[in-house]
Amino acid sequence: MTVMDRRSFTALVGATAAAATVLPVSASSAAPAASRSRGRGRRSLPTPYVVGHRGASGYRPEHTLASYTLAAHMGADFIEPDLVITKDGVLVCRHEPEISGTTDVSERPDFAARRTTKTLDGVATTGWFVEDFTLAELRTLRAVERLPQVRQENTIYDGLWQVPTFEEVLKLRKQLSLDLGREIGVYPETKHPTYFREIGLPLEERLVPLVQRYGLNNKNAAIRIQSFELTNLLMMRSKMKVKAPLVFLTSASGTPYADDRTYAELLSPAGLRTYADQIDGLGPDWSQVIARNSDGTLGAETALVKNAHAVGLEVCPYTVRAENQFLPTDYRIGADPNDYGRVMDLLHRLYDAGIDGIFSDNPDVAVVARDTWRG
């Protein structure tokens, strides 16, 4: 796909999505009544709801205010900041503590000496770490596109924008809600919570007061707090008295860090029953909802949605991306891994599976797919 093709496609689906967003809440909430009672905070949410993954990261460098703003304008119901923390204890939006993949820090001679190797959740990791920078220092850096070989168009924005704080995102969410005439939710994820707690910078102690201060600590608020570690979600619920909806992120394999049960055990019907009453939803890899065959083609639906719904949990899988290389092999169009494939069809299959929400780097596409899926 040429740059012009990609821009035209983006403009087209963006315009369609923008038209859809002017519908009043009541008209855009044609969800089946049964799904309304699942989880918390479902009042007035379209089903499936659309989460702008790291903003509209298919079109802008991820985790920038520009990316979040575009996602909301494209029709996303939520914007998704991943949260890490600075040396002076400020929550900021990056996908990981190591920031050389998404900022220009490696080009800054004044920070060259901060390059180091640390053990992150048991994995030796080399680079520049957010917790070694004060907020003032971090603000001198600029965001860059994570996938320049895949999303070359996005590199025109390299160097323009700062790393946002979580508080800025909370303010932006409020302003976008006013501007667009519909409530834009926020879907923050605590990244590596045990790691940050062990180095004396616990994320939750900063997160919960902000959620409270911005009026989002109630079960119907336009927020979901997510984590790949179940233990910090349960701690926030029991010890920190968090009322806001909580979503446990899961992987197709492995064990949550600092846990003794595997994701598979935690997602079994018996495993789900041990914590379902304390949280509100699951965020699985989408391949845990519809399996992929060994040849990379799309396989059969799993029992995960049914099992989660049976214990009152909503299901919002991650992450649908439009490019061929991220799609099942039988959903690709042509041989270029960076061209767009049959992403609409994949979204329709996931919507058919009964999911309650979807994370996408292309929120405009997920919104159009929802409109066409509803017929």
Residues at the contact surface with Ca ion, assessed by CB under 5 A? 82, 189
- Which of residues 108 and 146 has its CB atom nearest to ligand G3P in the complex? 146
Residue 227 touching ligand G3P (CB under 6 A): no
Residue 229 touching ligand G3P (CB under 6 A): no
Q: Which of 359, 361, 363, 367 binds ligand G3P (CB under 6 A)?
A: 359
- The pair phi, psi for residue 129, each rounded to 5°, is -110, 135
Tokens 């004060």 belong to residue: 134
Residue 318 touching ligand G3P (CB under 6 A): yes
The CB-based long-range contact list for 197-201 (8 Å cut-off, 24+ gap) reads 197/232, 199/131, 201/85, 201/87, 201/89, 201/131
Residue type, 40: R
Q: Which of 203, 249, 304, 366 binds ligand G3P (CB under 6 A)?
A: 249
Are residues 58 and 361 in contact, defined by beta-carbon separation less than 8 angstroms? yes
Q: Which of 145, 189, 280, 356 binds ligand G3P (CB under 6 A)?
A: 189
Residue 226 touching ligand G3P (CB under 6 A): yes
Rounded to whole angstroms, the Cα distance separating 164 from 63 reads 7
The site map against ligand G3P for 73-112 (x = CB under 6 A) is: ---------x------------x-----------------
Shortest Å, Cβ 20 to Ca ion? 24
Shortest Å, Cβ 180 to Ca ion? 23
Residue 63 touching ligand G3P (CB under 6 A): no
Q: How many CB atoms lie within 10 A of CB 24?
A: 9
- Which of residues 4 and 123 has its CB atom nearest to Ca ion in the complex? 123
Are residues 91 and 66 in contact, defined by beta-carbon separation less than 8 angstroms? no
The size of the interface with ligand G3P (CB under 6 A), counted in residues, is 10
Residue 317 touching ligand G3P (CB under 6 A): no
Residue 195 touching ligand G3P (CB under 6 A): no
Give the DSSP H/E element, type plus range, for residue 50: strand 49-53
The CB-based long-range contact list for 179-183 (8 Å cut-off, 24+ gap) reads 180/21, 180/72, 180/73, 181/22, 182/21, 182/25, 182/28, 183/25, 183/44, 183/222
